[in-house]
Chain A
Amino acid sequence: MILPSLVLILIVGGIGSWIAARRSEVFARWIALGSVLADLSVCLGIWVGHLGRSQSTPKSWFVAFDLAWIPQFGIRIHLAIDGLSLALLLLTYFLGIMAILSSWTEIDERVGFFHFNLLWVLAGITGVFLAMDLFVFYLFWELMLVPMYFLIGIWGHERRIYAATKFFLFTQLSGLLMLVAIIALAVLHKQSTGIFTFDYEQLLETALTPRAARLLMLGFLVAFAVKLPAFPFHTWLPDAHTEAPTAGSVVLAGLLLKTGAYGMIRFVLPLFPGPSHELAPVLMTFGVIGILYGAVLAVGQTDLKRLVAYTSVSHMGFVLLGVFAGNETALEGAVVQMVSHGISTGALFILAGLLQERMHTREISAMGGLWETMPALSGAGMVFAMASLGLPGLGDFVGEFLVLLGAYRANVPLTVVATLGLLAATLYGLRFAVNAFQGPNPHHWQLPDMRPREWAMLGLMMACLLWIGLYPQPVLNSVRQSLAVAQQSTFPQEVVRR
């Protein structure tokens, strides 16, 4: 019952905080924070309990939950957790806490409903990382969507309706393709075995003709590529990230994008090993295009949040490259990149939020010389900008380095071009750090520096980035087994160690 309770705590916490907000807004915030903290501590407990186990027991879940739901269609509430899910869930709750803390003063309208939506998004994400039944997976996939739409559409900035609609249409349409593919997969499974089931482990065994496999894979892939987002499906992202409130941007960049990558690793690679292998060069190319395209567009932006949004496109290009590079190093690098990008980009959005709260603008040209008046905040900005541009010693570098190192083995020219992304990252990183915080202060800003709550948030995130940057081994160890399972089916020619 541990796993359903992870979802239920958030569902109930969301309703509770909505109700509580009628009496006291602060109380609602505390309820939300408490629910996420409860989930975080549960996950930490599982992690501590299974630290050593990840390598010794292949193909088994740390914790699983299985309950028949709609037996006529073989739909079961099958939830399970392994190293990969666990790492991403820890990230989810960590960033969830940051999202709640970052809206502590920013959100002052309809506080209860805001936290209801926020917690329900987190519940959807939790479900996505846990569900081992494809039908249930799809339900949670949709559950993420609607509250997120409200978060952007109600508490967003100037063009929030446009952004929210675009976000909704992109993800909804691509999700429908996935639903079709899921049902088709289940039907094909029934035709070959006679059992109607949506269970992940059983569907893994489905024998598919190459043509069917290719078509079904595309159905999944499009949904995940839109969420990731991969070029050219990324255009919802800059609008949604820019217009969302800070918490929304943190959850979008830190978590929703990760569900796309997670889907590729958990479903696309093991369910469709043949087509994944076939399409790998194409997908890697799209990853590299994304890296450079996102970076170049990031350099040209004038809106701080939009700049950070495009850096996400670039960073997620590395993830796509790593997932399909077809070796352990690159795939593990992709997961480290997912985790550290969640933290570093989340932090950059929080910083952008802090600046907007103080200055009421996101235009970089309206900033400049902020170091003078907010040294601590600017110093933090410098650290996160450096993380984003891939400075060794901070988390993103480990991910990018491992991805490129692995990808080099698979495809030299593509990797060399992708490495240029590091150069382009320097340009956008400096544009963020230099144009906002350094130079003269032409607008004579006099702003309050970071408060203790803000300090605590960004300090924790910095510590996490340093930890991943200098000792990523715990992350690598806990995800290794899950990734080996995902990969063995797709790239059998690669000898997967251990």
Chain B
Amino acid sequence: MLQLLWLVVAVPFASAALLALFGSRLSRRVVAIVGVGSIGLSAFVTLLICATFLTSVPPNHAYVQHLWTWMSSGGFQAEIAFYLDSVSLLMLLVVTFVSFLIHFYSAEYMQDDDGYARFFAYMNLFVASMITLVLAKNMLLLYLGWEGVGLCSFLLIGFWYNEPQNVRAASKAFIVTRFGDTAFAVGLFLLFTRLGTLDIQEAMHRAAVEWSPGSGIAVAAAALLLAGAVGKSAQLPLQTWLPDAMAGPTPTSALIHAATMVTAGVYLIARTHVLFTLAPHVQFLVALIGMATMLLAAFSAVAQRDLKRVLAYSTISQIGYMFLALGLGAWSAAMFHLMTHAFFKALLFLAAGVVIHAVHEQDLYRMGGLRSELRLAFWSFLIGGSALAGLPLITAGFFSKDLILWQSWAGPNGNAWFWTAGMAGAMLTSLYTFRMILLVFYGPTQAHVKAHSGFAVRVSLIVLCFLSLVGGYVDTPPHFGGVPALSNFLNGVLPALEEVHIGPITEIITALCASTAFALGLGFAYLLFGPQRARVPATNFVEKLWLAGWGFDWLYDKLLVRPFQWLTRKSARELADVPINGLALVTVFGYQTLRRMQTGRVRWYATGLAMGTVVILAIAFFVR
């Protein structure tokens, strides 16, 4: 069954091409069948592959499929080849299944849109690129997927291209992530030049053998890859594109800007964890970036007015948790949180889509009291939000976040600062989540429901609700079941974390503190934004700063955008042409001057002749 691996990639590519070329001539029904069916087929094949992989484990716990040699030149060789091990299998499952649910939802959600075929063409292309990224055996193919998902993100943010701000947001996303991608590309040059291969496994193996820990070259390589990951995963300082990316259709936000693409950076770091282990400073930087992003984005989420922007900042913040875990060497914990986050954040976005569709409004302060009219959306929000905030024991998010929090203390790099920051983040998460739920579903009714959701939307929401609840049981801590199935499954590829700091903080204390943080956040949310409070958006300076995402956009606008625009405006008229046009001018001037001598008057000519003779004679006489 493993030989079918290429189909998982090829089917969405083929359907994307089909829809892009002939989509406008197909009926909506056919478009939906092709668009959703292809992803369904991919998910089905993935399931078969997963079953085979688990029942008869391939040698070395990995399956490799070579398709063809992409390019080979002067010692450099890159293959179109796929690599399936436990980590890529986990990603593959998450990507195909969440994609399938979101496509299924979109088939109904987007049905009144003019660009129905275009939407599915882009979405299928995205899934195909994302799977390529996940399965790539070498860095260059990974980079192809990486850029491919970036392109699809750009196309889908600007899907409603008639609105200038959508187009601007799309360009912004593309350009900001390309900053990281450029560094990533340099990283590829460096890795190949020093290691002689871009094959991920082989390169990691050679790096571990040839490079000493902390050597400059390892630091440079890890830092360059980190820059790529930071751009794609919207971490500091390249996080500014993600909130604006919410201009795209809501299923896009769910799929690309929450569940899958933005976590590609996490996957990249986990995939190349050997490099980061070799560069402890960079790894520590990963943790710092994760922690700072997690807190800053959580504060921003508290102040947002737009429903989708709350979720966007929440995504940035949750990926911050994953980065924190990566930075501490808790690789499996990061992947675990990646998985549960994909479930509950996709759920929240899809439910947000239902709300937005129903009331044609995204401003939290113009909603309210929707819980009776939108029961399924309300319950989805409650379940997804509880998972996000970490409602103990019965939600998936609790287990994954708890694992990160515990390892932020217990790991070799762990310390009380990370642990405390993680707890503060947990409380803030709970605060902004329930603020959002209270503002949308409680209080006075301000907007009226204009549309109700149909079958596909309901099914997708219910399945994701289910996953958000039980998804965490694949890896439970010792006190609550103690079956770390996922960690064990991943341990062959991602080394387990050594727990060195035990006491005074124990695992059970961490879990209790996390639960307290959840309760505190909920309590604050109720006090500040509960139904009894007057609904006025805050106007003080701090909240305005949070609303503006800490002013990063303002800063970049002043520091980078405007100077560059000035430069392009000034240089648009060719500077290198000045000397050449000068030459032309001198020629014209010379010709006009000389022309004046052609007067046609004999007296002038005779004078000229005489003067010339005198000069020549003088030269002949005096100059020897």
A contacts, CB < 8 Å to B = 231-232, 234-235, 238, 293, 296-297, 299-302, 327-330, 332-333, 369, 371-372, 375, 379, 382, 386, 391-393, 398, 401-402, 404-406, 408-409, 415-416, 419-420, 422-423, 426-427, 430, 434, 437-441, 470-473, 476, 480, 497
Q: Tell whether, in the assembled complex, residue A440 and residue B163 are in contact, meaning their CB atoms are under 8 Å apart.
A: yes
Q: Tell whether, in the assembled complex, residue A393 and residue B179 are in contact, meaning their CB atoms are under 8 Å apart.
A: no
Which chain B positions have C-beta within 8 A of A299? 568
Instruction: Tell me which of B69, B74, B147, B167 contacts A327 (CB under 8 A).
Output: B74
Judged by DSSP, the binding face of B is helix
Scan B62-77; emit 1 where CB is below 8 A from any A CB, else 0.
0000001111111110
Residue of A nearest to B158 (CB): A438
Which chain B positions have C-beta within 8 A of A302? 572
A434-B158 contact, Cβ under 8 Å, with A328-B74, A422-B178: yes
Q: Decide yes or no whether B182 CB sits under 8 A from chain A.
A: yes
Given A386-B151, A439-B161, output 16 extra A-B contacts at Cβ < 8 Å: A328-B73, A391-B147, A392-B140, A392-B147, A401-B140, A404-B185, A408-B193, A409-B193, A419-B185, A422-B181, A440-B162, A440-B163, A441-B162, A470-B70, A473-B72, A476-B71
A439-B171 contact, Cβ under 8 Å, with A297-B571, A408-B189, A473-B71: no
* Cα–Cα, bound, A371→B80 (Å): 34
Instruction: Tell me which of B151, B175, B186, B576 contacts A231 (CB under 8 A).
Output: B576
A-B contact pairs, 8 of them (CB 8 A): A234-B576, A301-B572, A327-B74, A332-B74, A405-B188, A419-B185, A434-B167, A471-B70
Q: Tell whether, in the assembled complex, residue B569 and residue A300 are in contact, meaning their CB atoms are under 8 Å apart.
A: yes
Which chain A positions have C-beta within 8 A of B577? 235
Q: Decide yes or no whether B618 CB sits under 8 A from chain A.
A: no
Q: Decide yes or no whether B384 CB sits under 8 A from chain A.
A: no
Residue of A nearest to B188 (CB): A405
Q: Tell whether, in the assembled complex, residue B167 and residue A439 are in contact, meaning their CB atoms are under 8 Å apart.
A: yes
Question: Ordered nearest first, which 7 A-B pairs have the shortest CB separation?
Answer: A328-B74, A300-B572, A300-B568, A329-B74, A408-B189, A438-B161, A392-B144
Residue of A nearest to B69 (CB): A473
* Cα–Cα, bound, A403→B20 (Å): 32
Residue of A nearest to B568 (CB): A300
Q: Tell whether, in the assembled complex, residue B76 and residue A402 are in contact, meaning their CB atoms are under 8 Å apart.
A: yes
A405-B189 contact, Cβ under 8 Å, with A392-B148, A439-B167: yes
Residue of B nearest to A298 (CB): B568
Q: Decide yes or no whether B574 CB sits under 8 A from chain A.
A: yes
Q: Tell whether, in the assembled complex, residue A423 and residue B73 are in contact, meaning their CB atoms are under 8 Å apart.
A: no
Which chain A positions have C-beta within 8 A of B68? 471
Which chain A positions have C-beta within 8 A of B147? 391-393
Q: Tell whether, in the assembled complex, residue A329 and residue B76 are in contact, meaning their CB atoms are under 8 Å apart.
A: yes
Q: Tell whether, in the assembled complex, residue A408 and residue B190 are in contact, meaning their CB atoms are under 8 Å apart.
A: yes
Report the minimum CB–CB distance from B273 to chain A (whole Å): 24
**Which of A300, A406, A471 has most B Cβ within 10 Å?**
A300
Q: Decide yes or no whether B164 CB sits under 8 A from chain A.
A: yes
* Cα–Cα, bound, A473→B78 (Å): 11
Q: Tell whether, in the assembled complex, residue B572 and residue A423 are in contact, meaning their CB atoms are under 8 Å apart.
A: no
Q: Tell whether, in the assembled complex, residue A419 and residue B171 are in contact, meaning their CB atoms are under 8 Å apart.
A: no
Instruction: Tell me which of B24, B71, B190 contacts A375 (CB under 8 A).
Output: B24
Q: Tell whether, in the assembled complex, residue A235 and residue B576 are in contact, meaning their CB atoms are under 8 Å apart.
A: yes
* Cα–Cα, bound, A301→B4 (Å): 49
Q: Tell whether, in the assembled complex, residue A497 and residue B75 are in contact, meaning their CB atoms are under 8 Å apart.
A: yes
Q: Decide yes or no whether B192 CB sits under 8 A from chain A.
A: yes
A427-B175 contact, Cβ under 8 Å, with A408-B189, A470-B80: yes
Scan B3-39; emit 1 where CB is below 8 A from any A CB, else 0.
0000000000000000010001000000000000000
**Which of B70, B151, B161, B171 has most A Cβ within 10 Å?**
B161
Q: Tell whether, in the assembled complex, residue B167 and residue A235 are in contact, meaning their CB atoms are under 8 Å apart.
A: no
* Cα–Cα, bound, A430→B572 (Å): 17
Q: Tell whether, in the assembled complex, residue A476 and residue B72 are in contact, meaning their CB atoms are under 8 Å apart.
A: yes
Report the minimum CB–CB distance from B569 to chain A (whole Å): 6
Scan B160-173; emit 1 where CB is below 8 A from any A CB, else 0.
01111001001100
Which chain A positions have C-beta within 8 A of B163? 440
A440-B164 contact, Cβ under 8 Å, with A328-B74, A392-B148, A406-B74: yes
Q: Tell whether, in the assembled complex, residue B73 and residue A329 are in contact, meaning their CB atoms are under 8 Å apart.
A: yes
Residue of B nearest to A468 (CB): B71
Judged by DSSP, the binding face of A is helix
Q: Decide yes or no whether B365 CB sits under 8 A from chain A.
A: no
Q: Tell whether, in the assembled complex, residue B73 and residue A426 are in contact, meaning their CB atoms are under 8 Å apart.
A: no
A423-B178 contact, Cβ under 8 Å, with A408-B193, A434-B158, A438-B161: yes
Q: Decide yes or no whether B398 CB sits under 8 A from chain A.
A: no
Interface positions, chain B 117-149, Cβ under 8 Å from A, are: 118, 140, 143-144, 147-148
A426-B572 contact, Cβ under 8 Å, with A329-B76, A375-B24, A415-B189: no
Q: Decide yes or no whether B536 CB sits under 8 A from chain A.
A: no
Interface positions, chain B 189-229, Cβ under 8 Å from A, are: 189-190, 192-193
Report the minimum CB–CB distance from A369 to chain B (whole Å): 6
Interface positions, chain B 573-624, Cβ under 8 Å from A, are: 574, 576-577, 580
Q: Tell whether, in the assembled complex, residue B179 and residue A423 are in contact, meaning their CB atoms are under 8 Å apart.
A: yes
Q: Tell whether, in the assembled complex, residue B73 and residue A476 are in contact, meaning their CB atoms are under 8 Å apart.
A: yes
Report the minimum CB–CB distance from A427 to chain B (whole Å): 7
Q: Decide yes or no whether B502 CB sits under 8 A from chain A.
A: no
Scan B487-515; emit 1 where CB is below 8 A from any A CB, else 0.
00000000000000000000000000000
Q: Tell whether, in the assembled complex, residue B74 and residue A426 are in contact, meaning their CB atoms are under 8 Å apart.
A: no
* Cα–Cα, bound, A422→B150 (Å): 14
Residue of B nearest to A371 (CB): B161
Which chain B positions have C-beta within 8 A of A409? 193
Q: Tell whether, in the assembled complex, residue B161 and residue A405 are in contact, meaning their CB atoms are under 8 Å apart.
A: no
Q: Decide yes or no whether B97 CB sits under 8 A from chain A.
A: no
Q: Tell whether, in the assembled complex, residue B148 and residue A369 are in contact, meaning their CB atoms are under 8 Å apart.
A: no
Q: Decide yes or no whether B174 CB sits under 8 A from chain A.
A: yes
* Cα–Cα, bound, A328→B74 (Å): 5
Residue of B nearest to A328 (CB): B74
Report the minimum CB–CB distance from B34 to chain A (whole Å): 18
Instruction: Tell me which of B140, B164, B567, B576 contacts A439 (CB under 8 A).
Output: B164
Q: Tell whether, in the assembled complex, residue B571 and residue A379 are in contact, meaning their CB atoms are under 8 Å apart.
A: no
* Cα–Cα, bound, A231→B577 (Å): 11
Q: Tell whether, in the assembled complex, residue A404 and residue B189 are in contact, meaning their CB atoms are under 8 Å apart.
A: yes
Residue of A nearest to B163 (CB): A440
Report the minimum CB–CB distance from B152 to chain A (whole Å): 11
Instruction: Tell me which of A379, A398, A420, A427 contacts B71 (CB under 8 A).
Output: A398
Which chain B positions have C-beta within 8 A of A231? 576
Which chain B positions have C-beta within 8 A of A440? 162-164
Which chain B positions have C-beta within 8 A of A415? 186, 189
Instruction: Tell me which of A391, A401, A480, A497 contacts B151 (CB under 8 A).
Output: A391
Instruction: Tell me which of B20, B73, B175, B568 contacts A333 (CB under 8 A).
Output: B73
Residue of B nearest to A165 (CB): B584
Q: Tell whether, in the assembled complex, residue B174 and residue A430 are in contact, meaning their CB atoms are under 8 Å apart.
A: yes
Report the minimum CB–CB distance from B409 to chain A (whole Å): 39
* Cα–Cα, bound, A419→B224 (Å): 13
Q: Tell whether, in the assembled complex, residue B73 and residue A393 are in contact, meaning their CB atoms are under 8 Å apart.
A: no
Residue of A nearest to B150 (CB): A391
Which chain A positions have C-beta within 8 A of B192? 405, 408
Q: Tell whether, in the assembled complex, residue B71 and residue A300 are in contact, meaning their CB atoms are under 8 Å apart.
A: no
A238-B574 contact, Cβ under 8 Å, with A404-B185, A426-B178: yes
Q: Tell whether, in the assembled complex, residue B572 and residue A297 are in contact, meaning their CB atoms are under 8 Å apart.
A: yes
Which chain A positions have C-beta within 8 A of B80? 470
* Cα–Cα, bound, A497→B73 (Å): 9
Report the minimum CB–CB distance from B94 to chain A (whole Å): 23
Report the minimum CB–CB distance from A292 to chain B (whole Å): 11
* Cα–Cα, bound, A328→B71 (Å): 13
Instruction: Tell me which of A238, A438, A473 contacts B167 (CB under 8 A).
Output: A438
* Cα–Cα, bound, A238→B20 (Å): 34
* Cα–Cα, bound, A441→B163 (Å): 10
Q: Tell whether, in the assembled complex, residue A296 and residue B167 are in contact, meaning their CB atoms are under 8 Å apart.
A: no
Report the minimum CB–CB distance from A64 to chain B (whole Å): 27
* Cα–Cα, bound, A234→B158 (Å): 35
Q: Tell whether, in the assembled complex, residue B75 and residue A369 are in contact, meaning their CB atoms are under 8 Å apart.
A: no
* Cα–Cα, bound, A440→B163 (Å): 6
Report the minimum CB–CB distance from A419 to chain B (whole Å): 5
* Cα–Cα, bound, A434→B174 (Å): 12
Which chain A positions have C-beta within 8 A of B140? 392, 401
